[in-house]
Structure 1
Amino acid sequence: MARSSSGFVAGLTAAALAAVAFLAYQASANAPADVSAKPRTPAAAPSAEPTGGPKPKPKDPLAVPGNSGSGARVVYALSERRVWLVDAKGQATHTFSVAPSTVDPKPGAYKVTSRSGSVTGSDGVKIEHVVRFATVDDVTVGFSAAVDGSLPTPDPTRKTGGIRMKRADGDAMWTFAAIGAKVVVVA
Protein backbone atom coordinates (compact mmCIF):
# COMPACT_ATOMS: atom_id res chain seq x y z
CA MET A 1 0.00 0.00 0.00
CA ALA A 2 2.88 2.33 0.72
CA ARG A 3 4.22 1.81 -2.76
CA SER A 4 1.02 2.74 -4.50
CA SER A 5 0.54 5.86 -2.41
CA SER A 6 4.15 6.92 -3.21
CA GLY A 7 3.42 6.65 -6.87
CA PHE A 8 0.19 8.57 -6.39
CA VAL A 9 2.01 11.39 -4.52
CA ALA A 10 4.73 11.46 -7.17
CA GLY A 11 2.08 11.78 -9.85
CA LEU A 12 0.34 14.60 -8.02
CA THR A 13 3.68 16.38 -7.51
CA ALA A 14 4.51 16.07 -11.21
CA ALA A 15 1.05 17.41 -12.16
CA ALA A 16 1.41 20.33 -9.73
CA LEU A 17 4.86 21.20 -11.11
CA ALA A 18 3.49 21.08 -14.65
CA ALA A 19 0.60 23.40 -13.69
CA VAL A 20 2.98 25.85 -11.99
CA ALA A 21 5.30 25.79 -15.01
CA PHE A 22 2.35 26.44 -17.34
CA LEU A 23 1.09 29.37 -15.23
CA ALA A 24 4.62 30.81 -15.01
CA TYR A 25 4.90 30.62 -18.80
CA GLN A 26 1.55 32.42 -19.24
CA ALA A 27 2.56 35.14 -16.78
CA SER A 28 5.90 35.74 -18.49
CA ALA A 29 4.28 35.87 -21.92
CA ASN A 30 2.00 38.74 -20.75
CA ALA A 31 4.58 40.60 -18.62
CA PRO A 32 5.93 43.97 -19.83
CA ALA A 33 9.55 44.13 -20.96
CA ASP A 34 10.31 46.53 -18.09
CA VAL A 35 8.70 45.21 -14.93
CA SER A 36 9.56 48.41 -13.07
CA ALA A 37 7.17 50.37 -15.32
CA LYS A 38 3.94 51.49 -13.69
CA PRO A 39 0.75 49.94 -15.07
CA ARG A 40 -1.27 52.19 -17.35
CA THR A 41 -4.45 53.64 -16.02
CA PRO A 42 -7.43 54.37 -18.28
CA ALA A 43 -6.45 58.07 -18.27
CA ALA A 44 -2.98 57.16 -19.53
CA ALA A 45 -4.23 54.88 -22.29
CA PRO A 46 -3.24 55.92 -25.80
CA SER A 47 -5.72 58.09 -27.65
CA ALA A 48 -7.45 57.06 -30.83
CA GLU A 49 -5.94 60.06 -32.63
CA PRO A 50 -3.02 59.41 -34.93
CA THR A 51 0.35 60.27 -33.42
CA GLY A 52 2.03 61.32 -36.65
CA GLY A 53 -0.30 64.28 -37.29
CA PRO A 54 0.38 67.95 -36.65
CA LYS A 55 0.92 68.96 -33.05
CA PRO A 56 -1.63 71.34 -31.52
CA LYS A 57 -0.64 74.99 -31.60
CA PRO A 58 0.58 76.42 -28.32
CA LYS A 59 -1.76 78.91 -26.69
CA ASP A 60 -1.33 82.43 -28.05
CA PRO A 61 0.17 84.47 -25.20
CA LEU A 62 -1.78 87.53 -26.37
CA ALA A 63 -5.10 85.64 -26.19
CA VAL A 64 -7.19 87.61 -23.71
CA PRO A 65 -9.30 85.54 -21.26
CA GLY A 66 -12.82 85.26 -22.66
CA ASN A 67 -14.58 86.14 -19.42
CA SER A 68 -12.84 89.51 -19.03
CA GLY A 69 -15.38 91.88 -20.54
CA SER A 70 -14.87 94.18 -23.49
CA GLY A 71 -13.23 97.45 -24.44
CA ALA A 72 -9.99 98.94 -23.16
CA ARG A 73 -8.98 97.33 -19.88
CA VAL A 74 -6.26 95.77 -17.77
CA VAL A 75 -6.97 92.06 -17.24
CA TYR A 76 -5.42 90.28 -14.25
CA ALA A 77 -5.80 86.46 -14.16
CA LEU A 78 -5.22 85.27 -10.60
CA SER A 79 -4.61 81.59 -11.47
CA GLU A 80 -2.26 82.37 -14.36
CA ARG A 81 -0.44 85.17 -12.53
CA ARG A 82 -0.63 87.11 -15.78
CA VAL A 83 -1.73 90.58 -16.91
CA TRP A 84 -2.95 91.73 -20.33
CA LEU A 85 -3.20 95.35 -21.45
CA VAL A 86 -6.18 95.34 -23.82
CA ASP A 87 -7.01 98.13 -26.30
CA ALA A 88 -10.48 99.45 -27.18
CA LYS A 89 -10.81 96.86 -29.97
CA GLY A 90 -10.32 94.02 -27.47
CA GLN A 91 -6.79 93.16 -28.64
CA ALA A 92 -3.98 92.65 -26.15
CA THR A 93 -1.14 95.07 -26.79
CA HIS A 94 1.07 93.70 -24.03
CA THR A 95 1.03 90.71 -21.67
CA PHE A 96 3.34 89.71 -18.86
CA SER A 97 3.62 87.51 -15.79
CA VAL A 98 3.48 88.96 -12.30
CA ALA A 99 4.38 88.00 -8.74
CA PRO A 100 1.08 88.10 -6.83
CA SER A 101 0.50 89.78 -3.50
CA THR A 102 -0.63 87.93 -0.38
CA VAL A 103 -4.04 89.60 -0.61
CA ASP A 104 -6.04 88.94 -3.79
CA PRO A 105 -8.94 91.05 -5.01
CA LYS A 106 -12.11 89.10 -5.79
CA PRO A 107 -12.85 88.50 -9.48
CA GLY A 108 -14.77 91.45 -10.91
CA ALA A 109 -14.40 94.87 -12.50
CA TYR A 110 -12.52 97.72 -10.80
CA LYS A 111 -11.19 101.14 -11.75
CA VAL A 112 -7.74 102.61 -11.19
CA THR A 113 -8.18 104.84 -8.13
CA SER A 114 -4.68 106.24 -7.63
CA ARG A 115 -1.15 106.17 -8.99
CA SER A 116 2.30 106.96 -7.61
CA GLY A 117 5.49 107.38 -9.57
CA SER A 118 7.83 106.19 -6.80
CA VAL A 119 7.20 105.08 -3.20
CA THR A 120 8.27 102.46 -0.68
CA GLY A 121 6.08 99.35 -0.74
CA SER A 122 4.43 97.81 2.31
CA ASP A 123 7.25 95.24 2.28
CA GLY A 124 9.91 97.98 2.54
CA VAL A 125 11.07 97.68 -1.10
CA LYS A 126 11.38 100.85 -3.22
CA ILE A 127 8.82 100.59 -6.04
CA GLU A 128 7.75 102.64 -9.03
CA HIS A 129 4.81 102.96 -11.40
CA VAL A 130 2.25 102.06 -8.75
CA VAL A 131 -1.28 101.63 -10.15
CA ARG A 132 -3.84 101.00 -7.38
CA PHE A 133 -7.32 99.62 -8.09
CA ALA A 134 -8.82 97.79 -5.09
CA THR A 135 -8.93 97.53 -1.31
CA VAL A 136 -9.35 94.18 0.43
CA ASP A 137 -9.58 93.98 4.25
CA ASP A 138 -7.99 97.45 4.59
CA VAL A 139 -5.10 96.45 2.27
CA THR A 140 -4.67 98.48 -0.90
CA VAL A 141 -4.08 96.31 -3.97
CA GLY A 142 -2.20 97.50 -7.02
CA PHE A 143 0.46 96.81 -9.62
CA SER A 144 4.04 98.00 -9.14
CA ALA A 145 7.62 97.35 -10.19
CA ALA A 146 10.54 97.09 -7.77
CA VAL A 147 13.22 99.66 -8.61
CA ASP A 148 15.87 96.96 -8.14
CA GLY A 149 14.03 94.76 -10.71
CA SER A 150 13.29 91.96 -8.24
CA LEU A 151 10.13 89.85 -8.22
CA PRO A 152 10.23 88.57 -4.65
CA THR A 153 7.95 85.88 -3.30
CA PRO A 154 5.73 87.66 -0.79
CA ASP A 155 5.94 86.75 2.89
CA PRO A 156 2.71 84.79 3.53
CA THR A 157 2.64 85.98 7.14
CA ARG A 158 2.19 89.64 6.05
CA LYS A 159 -0.82 91.20 4.33
CA THR A 160 0.51 92.96 1.24
CA GLY A 161 -1.32 94.17 -1.84
CA GLY A 162 1.57 94.77 -4.22
CA ILE A 163 1.32 92.76 -7.45
CA ARG A 164 4.88 92.99 -8.74
CA MET A 165 6.03 93.10 -12.34
CA LYS A 166 9.29 93.69 -14.17
CA ARG A 167 10.32 97.32 -14.70
CA ALA A 168 9.65 97.26 -18.47
CA ASP A 169 6.15 95.90 -17.80
CA GLY A 170 5.71 98.59 -15.14
CA ASP A 171 6.51 101.22 -17.78
CA ALA A 172 3.84 99.76 -20.08
CA MET A 173 1.28 99.62 -17.25
CA TRP A 174 2.04 103.22 -16.23
CA THR A 175 1.48 104.45 -19.78
CA PHE A 176 -1.70 102.38 -20.25
CA ALA A 177 -3.60 102.61 -16.93
CA ALA A 178 -4.53 106.17 -16.09
CA ILE A 179 -6.88 107.12 -13.24
CA GLY A 180 -10.32 105.63 -14.01
CA ALA A 181 -9.00 102.90 -16.33
CA LYS A 182 -10.88 99.60 -16.08
CA VAL A 183 -9.19 96.66 -14.35
CA VAL A 184 -10.86 93.26 -14.65
CA VAL A 185 -9.79 90.47 -12.30
CA VAL A 186 -10.58 86.92 -13.41
CA ALA A 187 -10.02 83.68 -11.55
Structure 2
Amino acid sequence: MARSSSGFVAGLTAAAVAAVCFLAYQASANAPADVSAKPRTSGSAAPSTSPSGGPEQPPRNPLALPGASGKGERVVYSLADRRVWLVDGKNKATRTFVVMPSTVHPAPGAYSVTSRSGSVRGSDGVQIEHVVRFATAEDVAIGFSAAVDGSMPSPDLSKKTGGIRMKRADGDALWTFAVIGAKVVVVA
Protein backbone atom coordinates (compact mmCIF):
# COMPACT_ATOMS: atom_id res chain seq x y z
CA MET A 1 0.00 0.00 0.00
CA ALA A 2 2.82 2.42 0.83
CA ARG A 3 4.38 1.90 -2.61
CA SER A 4 1.22 2.91 -4.46
CA SER A 5 0.91 6.09 -2.35
CA SER A 6 4.49 7.10 -3.05
CA GLY A 7 3.99 6.45 -6.76
CA PHE A 8 0.86 8.57 -6.72
CA VAL A 9 2.69 11.45 -4.97
CA ALA A 10 5.60 11.18 -7.42
CA GLY A 11 3.16 11.36 -10.34
CA LEU A 12 1.45 14.45 -8.91
CA THR A 13 4.82 16.10 -8.31
CA ALA A 14 5.92 15.42 -11.90
CA ALA A 15 2.63 16.84 -13.23
CA ALA A 16 3.03 19.97 -11.09
CA VAL A 17 6.61 20.52 -12.31
CA ALA A 18 5.47 20.09 -15.93
CA ALA A 19 2.66 22.62 -15.42
CA VAL A 20 5.05 25.18 -13.89
CA CYS A 21 7.49 24.69 -16.78
CA PHE A 22 4.70 25.17 -19.32
CA LEU A 23 3.51 28.38 -17.63
CA ALA A 24 7.10 29.69 -17.45
CA TYR A 25 7.51 29.02 -21.18
CA GLN A 26 4.25 30.87 -21.97
CA ALA A 27 5.33 33.85 -19.88
CA SER A 28 8.73 34.05 -21.57
CA ALA A 29 7.19 33.75 -25.03
CA ASN A 30 4.92 36.75 -24.36
CA ALA A 31 7.52 38.94 -22.64
CA PRO A 32 8.81 42.00 -24.54
CA ALA A 33 12.28 41.77 -26.02
CA ASP A 34 13.51 44.72 -23.93
CA VAL A 35 12.03 44.66 -20.44
CA SER A 36 14.09 47.69 -19.40
CA ALA A 37 12.17 50.00 -21.76
CA LYS A 38 9.73 52.28 -19.97
CA PRO A 39 6.09 52.02 -21.04
CA ARG A 40 4.74 55.04 -22.90
CA THR A 41 2.37 57.32 -21.07
CA SER A 42 -0.89 58.35 -22.68
CA GLY A 43 0.40 61.92 -23.20
CA SER A 44 3.46 60.87 -25.19
CA ALA A 45 2.14 57.82 -26.98
CA ALA A 46 2.14 57.77 -30.71
CA PRO A 47 -1.27 57.02 -32.15
CA SER A 48 -1.69 53.32 -32.73
CA THR A 49 -2.47 52.14 -36.19
CA SER A 50 -4.49 49.30 -37.60
CA PRO A 51 -3.01 46.68 -39.94
CA SER A 52 -4.26 48.82 -42.84
CA GLY A 53 -2.12 51.73 -41.62
CA GLY A 54 -5.01 53.98 -40.52
CA PRO A 55 -5.72 54.99 -36.93
CA GLU A 56 -6.88 52.10 -34.82
CA GLN A 57 -10.57 52.21 -33.93
CA PRO A 58 -11.92 50.74 -30.71
CA PRO A 59 -13.70 47.46 -31.40
CA ARG A 60 -17.41 47.95 -32.10
CA ASN A 61 -19.89 46.00 -30.06
CA PRO A 62 -21.68 43.85 -32.66
CA LEU A 63 -24.86 43.93 -30.57
CA ALA A 64 -24.92 47.73 -30.28
CA LEU A 65 -27.63 49.57 -32.18
CA PRO A 66 -26.18 51.28 -35.29
CA GLY A 67 -25.74 55.03 -34.73
CA ALA A 68 -27.43 56.30 -37.89
CA SER A 69 -30.61 54.27 -37.49
CA GLY A 70 -33.16 56.98 -36.71
CA LYS A 71 -35.16 57.72 -33.61
CA GLY A 72 -38.27 56.38 -31.91
CA GLU A 73 -39.94 53.01 -32.11
CA ARG A 74 -38.64 51.07 -35.11
CA VAL A 75 -37.17 47.90 -36.56
CA VAL A 76 -33.53 48.35 -37.61
CA TYR A 77 -32.04 46.01 -40.21
CA SER A 78 -28.28 46.16 -40.85
CA LEU A 79 -27.28 44.71 -44.22
CA ALA A 80 -23.59 44.40 -43.29
CA ASP A 81 -24.18 42.88 -39.84
CA ARG A 82 -27.05 40.63 -40.96
CA ARG A 83 -28.80 41.67 -37.76
CA VAL A 84 -32.15 43.13 -36.70
CA TRP A 85 -32.91 45.27 -33.64
CA LEU A 86 -36.37 45.95 -32.20
CA VAL A 87 -36.19 49.46 -30.74
CA ASP A 88 -38.73 50.95 -28.33
CA GLY A 89 -39.96 54.56 -28.19
CA LYS A 90 -37.09 55.50 -25.83
CA ASN A 91 -34.47 54.45 -28.44
CA LYS A 92 -33.56 51.34 -26.45
CA ALA A 93 -33.05 48.06 -28.28
CA THR A 94 -35.34 45.55 -26.61
CA ARG A 95 -34.20 42.61 -28.73
CA THR A 96 -31.57 41.88 -31.36
CA PHE A 97 -30.94 38.80 -33.47
CA VAL A 98 -29.10 37.57 -36.56
CA VAL A 99 -30.90 36.97 -39.85
CA MET A 100 -30.14 35.30 -43.18
CA PRO A 101 -30.52 37.89 -45.93
CA SER A 102 -32.27 37.22 -49.21
CA THR A 103 -30.70 37.55 -52.65
CA VAL A 104 -32.44 40.90 -53.29
CA HIS A 105 -31.69 43.64 -50.76
CA PRO A 106 -33.56 46.84 -49.92
CA ALA A 107 -31.65 50.11 -50.31
CA PRO A 108 -30.67 51.80 -47.05
CA GLY A 109 -33.40 54.12 -45.86
CA ALA A 110 -36.65 54.33 -43.90
CA TYR A 111 -39.67 52.19 -44.78
CA SER A 112 -43.03 51.23 -43.27
CA VAL A 113 -44.55 47.78 -42.87
CA THR A 114 -46.98 47.48 -45.80
CA SER A 115 -48.39 43.96 -45.38
CA ARG A 116 -48.25 40.88 -43.19
CA SER A 117 -49.10 37.21 -43.66
CA GLY A 118 -49.46 34.66 -40.90
CA SER A 119 -48.41 31.62 -42.95
CA VAL A 120 -47.52 31.22 -46.65
CA ARG A 121 -45.13 29.33 -48.90
CA GLY A 122 -41.99 31.35 -49.65
CA SER A 123 -40.74 31.97 -53.18
CA ASP A 124 -38.10 29.31 -52.46
CA GLY A 125 -40.83 26.74 -51.76
CA VAL A 126 -40.31 26.67 -47.98
CA GLN A 127 -43.35 27.02 -45.68
CA ILE A 128 -42.88 30.27 -43.72
CA GLU A 129 -44.73 32.16 -41.01
CA HIS A 130 -45.00 35.68 -39.62
CA VAL A 131 -44.15 37.43 -42.87
CA VAL A 132 -43.66 41.19 -42.40
CA ARG A 133 -43.20 43.01 -45.76
CA PHE A 134 -41.77 46.51 -45.93
CA ALA A 135 -40.07 47.16 -49.30
CA THR A 136 -39.80 46.21 -52.96
CA ALA A 137 -36.58 46.00 -54.97
CA GLU A 138 -36.05 44.60 -58.47
CA ASP A 139 -39.79 43.79 -58.59
CA VAL A 140 -39.40 41.51 -55.55
CA ALA A 141 -41.24 42.03 -52.25
CA ILE A 142 -38.81 42.29 -49.32
CA GLY A 143 -39.82 41.13 -45.85
CA PHE A 144 -38.92 39.29 -42.70
CA SER A 145 -40.07 35.73 -42.09
CA ALA A 146 -39.28 32.49 -40.27
CA ALA A 147 -39.29 29.02 -41.80
CA VAL A 148 -41.79 26.75 -40.06
CA ASP A 149 -39.13 24.03 -39.89
CA GLY A 150 -36.79 26.50 -38.10
CA SER A 151 -34.13 26.46 -40.82
CA MET A 152 -32.13 29.50 -41.94
CA PRO A 153 -30.24 28.21 -45.01
CA SER A 154 -28.30 30.47 -47.34
CA PRO A 155 -30.51 31.55 -50.24
CA ASP A 156 -30.15 30.06 -53.71
CA LEU A 157 -28.15 32.77 -55.51
CA SER A 158 -29.68 31.77 -58.85
CA LYS A 159 -33.14 32.96 -57.67
CA LYS A 160 -34.44 36.43 -56.88
CA THR A 161 -35.89 36.17 -53.37
CA GLY A 162 -36.83 38.83 -50.83
CA GLY A 163 -37.28 36.80 -47.65
CA ILE A 164 -35.03 37.81 -44.77
CA ARG A 165 -35.11 34.67 -42.61
CA MET A 166 -34.81 34.42 -38.86
CA LYS A 167 -35.34 31.86 -36.11
CA ARG A 168 -38.96 31.18 -35.18
CA ALA A 169 -38.74 32.80 -31.73
CA ASP A 170 -37.29 35.95 -33.32
CA GLY A 171 -40.03 35.83 -35.96
CA ASP A 172 -42.65 35.69 -33.18
CA ALA A 173 -41.15 38.76 -31.51
CA LEU A 174 -40.93 40.71 -34.77
CA TRP A 175 -44.51 39.74 -35.70
CA THR A 176 -45.79 41.17 -32.41
CA PHE A 177 -43.64 44.32 -32.71
CA ALA A 178 -43.96 45.25 -36.41
CA VAL A 179 -47.63 45.92 -37.17
CA ILE A 180 -48.87 47.60 -40.38
CA GLY A 181 -47.32 51.06 -40.59
CA ALA A 182 -44.44 50.29 -38.20
CA LYS A 183 -41.16 51.97 -39.14
CA VAL A 184 -38.34 49.85 -40.58
CA VAL A 185 -34.90 51.43 -41.01
CA VAL A 186 -32.35 49.71 -43.24
CA VAL A 187 -28.69 50.65 -42.72
CA ALA A 188 -25.69 49.61 -44.76
Q: TM-score scaled to structure 2, two decimals?
A: 0.69
- CA displacement, residues 38-60 of structure 1 (integer Å, 9 cap, x when unaligned): xxxx965xxxxxxxxxxx78726
Cα distance in 2 between the residues matched to 1:60 and 1:115 = 29
SS at match of 1:168: helix
Are 1:148 and 2:129 matched, yes or no? Answer: no
Cα distance in 1 between the residues matched to 2:59 and 2:80 = 22
Structure 2 counterpart of 1:123: 124
Structure 2 counterpart of 1:4: none
Structure 2 counterpart of 1:6: none
Cα distance in 1 between the residues matched to 2:78 and 2:50 = 29
SS at match of 1:127: strand
Unaligned runs of 5+ in 1: 1-41, 45-55
Structure 2 counterpart of 1:106: 107
SS at match of 1:123: coil
Cα distance in 2 between the residues matched to 1:148 and 1:173 = 18
2:79 counterpart letter in structure 1: L
Structure 2 counterpart of 1:59: 61
SS at match of 1:173: helix
SS at match of 1:130: strand
Note the C-alpha offset of 1:96: 0.2
Cα distance in 2 between the residues matched to 1:133 and 1:57 = 32
SS at match of 1:171: helix
Structure 2 counterpart of 1:136: 137
Unaligned runs of 5+ in 2: 1-48, 52-57
SS at match of 2:143: strand
Cα distance in 2 between the residues matched to 1:141 and 1:132 = 6
Compared CA separation, residues 43 and 68, structure 1 to 2 (3 A)? closer
Cα distance in 2 between the residues matched to 1:120 and 1:67 = 34
Structure 2 counterpart of 1:96: 97
Structure 1 counterpart of 2:84: 83
Structure 1 counterpart of 2:9: none
Cα distance in 2 between the residues matched to 1:68 and 1:126 = 31
SS at match of 1:102: coil
Note the C-alpha offset of 1:65: 0.6
Structure 2 counterpart of 1:157: 158
Compared CA separation, residues 125 and 60, structure 1 to 2 (3 A)? closer
Cα distance in 2 between the residues matched to 1:58 and 1:131 = 29
Q: How does 1:4-83 map to 2 (within 5 A)?
A: 59=61, 61=63, 63-83=64-84
State the aligned residue count: 136
Percent identical: 72
Runs of 4+ in 1 over 6 A off after TM superposition: none
Note the C-alpha offset of 1:168: 0.3
2:61 counterpart letter in structure 1: K
